Amino acid sequence: TKEPISGTIIQEAWGKQVRGNPSFILCSKIKTIKEALKLWNKVHFGRIQEKIKQLESEITHLQSSQPNPKSIQKENQLKIQLQDQLRHEETLWRQKSRINWLTTLDLNTKFYH
């Protein structure tokens, strides 16, 4: 994955003790991983649009003030964060478009069967 921490989240969720027969254990661990990743996704990537607007606003504010070394450094850090958020947004839209395409493709093939 592109996010190294996701491997840690999976390992922690998989390492939780579950009792029962092997198929129940497997299903429980997969469910635990799913829940952990959903929570992490919501916390880490949630509200991308709001974060982008906030970063753009902060950059605009810094650009309208008198430049000094500290504000220039802060602006550069914010621009890096903004680029990171824009990449996440692009990935999100790419994933959503792929899901829509696959769903549409499936609907189209049903016509012929």
Report pLDDT for 72: 93
Q: Which positions of the chain have pLDDT values less than 70? A: 1-2, 99-113
Distance CA 30, CA 75 (A): 42
Report pLDDT for 28: 94
Q: For residue 29, what are the contacts with CB-CB under 8 A and spacing of at least 6? A: 13, 14, 16, 18
Report pLDDT for 27: 94
Report pLDDT for 44: 78
Report pLDDT for 101: 65
Report pLDDT for 41: 82
Count Cβ atoms below 10 Å from residue 37 Cβ, excluding itself. 15
Q: Is the pTM higher than 0.75? A: no
Report pLDDT for 113: 52
Report pLDDT for 96: 75
> Which structure tokens are listed for 50?
């709001």
Report pLDDT for 23: 94
